[in-house]
Amino acid sequence: MNREVILKVDNVSCSYGQVRAISEVTLEVRAGELVTLVGANGAGKSSLLRCISGVQPTNGGSIHFNGENLKGKSAASRLIAGISQVPEGRLVFADLSVEDNLLLGAYRATKSARRAAFDRVFALFPILHERRTQLAGSFSGGQQQMLALGRALMSSPQLLLLDEPSMGISPIVTQQIFEILDSLCASGVTILLVEQNATAALVLADRAYVIESGRIVLSGDGPALLNDPRVREAYLHG
Ligand code: ATP
């Protein structure tokens, strides 16, 4: 595959006070790829996604998106540029309806772009259409994950950052969500996926990076890493 690099993370570090969360991380994502970042609890996966979406400041290194240096750009301007994040824990607004949660993802769009975004999201997730007037708080974890994903898609992103979409949801719903990610990717959305469910993520991914204690320690094709003894021992439980 020889597609254009759309995201380039070069030697990026970030800290919370004295706690160094990621150290000199370098990775790239090409247009149309699904790349996964695998690592244990506390390895720095969420921090890296947050640095890319701009909600966490970096202290060192650079991040380029479509060739543009993101230094100094707010999370809002990165969203406008085409980077959309589904945060860990989903963070949907329980007291708002499905439609209103989705609207928050498209607050800058024109009326016709919003209509088109609703149509796309409802086609991907018919359950959200069926329950569009209901409050998000009445949803199961899996449905909330679909809503969070739908909300992130309302801005028609070029790059989707996904933080642990399988957390707290059943294997069947996880499988459904992963199938949707696969079809999103086939439709041209580029995905950087953080997952603790390493097997499922590596099966799906074009390429993967393994992060340990804030540093990238391995990278390669998804299927190759799935068979790598170091990955099997540390993350795949046998
Ligand atoms: P998890 O899967 O548990 O979310 P992770 O791989 O996403 O783990 P991070 O959440 O990025 O890892 O955490 C990386 C390091 O930064 C850990 O040592 C963590 O304790 C620390 N850390 C994360 N968030 C904060 C914070 N708000 N304040 C202080 N330290 C933090």
Classify residue 165 by its DSSP letter.
T
Mean pLDDT, to the nearest integer, of 144-155?
A: 93
Of residues 1 and 173, more confidently modeled: 173
Shortest-distance Cα residue to atom 21 of ligand 1: 21
pLDDT in tens, 58-102: 998 999 999 999 999 999 999 999 999 988 776 888 899 999 999
Rounded Cα distance, 133 and 86, in Å: 22
Residue 78 neighbours by CB distance under 10 Å: 21
Shortest-distance Cα residue to atom 15 of ligand 1: 21
- Is the pLDDT at 223 greater than 80, yes or no? yes
CB 116 within 8 A of CB 154: no
Q: How many angstroms does the Cα of residue 44 sit away from the middle of ligand 1?
A: 6
171-186 vs 111-124: helix axis angle to the nearest 10?
Answer: 130
Q: List pocket residues of ligand 1, CB cut-off 6 Å.
A: 16, 19, 21, 39, 41-47, 88
Q: Which atom of ligand 1 is nearest to 17's Cα?
A: 29
| pLDDT, position 1 | 54
pLDDT in tens, 4-61: 999 999 999 999 999 999 999 999 999 999 999 999 889 999 999 999 999 999 998 9
Reading phi first (left if > 0) and then psi (alpha if -120 to 50, else beta), residue 206 is in: alpha
Q: How confident is the model at residue 219 (pLDDT cuts 50, 70, 90)?
A: very high
Shortest-distance Cα residue to atom 30 of ligand 1: 16
Helix runs in 54-186, H state only: 75-81, 98-104, 111-124, 126-130, 141-153, 171-186
CA distances 219 to 12, 64, 207, 230, Å, are 17, 20, 7, 12
Kindly report the pTM of this predicted structure: 0.92
Which of 96-105, 159-168, 225-234 shows the lowest per-residue confidence on average (mean pLDDT)? 225-234
Of residues 206 and 89, more confidently modeled: 206
Locate tokens 């966490």: which residue? Answer: 56
- Is the pLDDT at 224 greater than 80, yes or no? yes
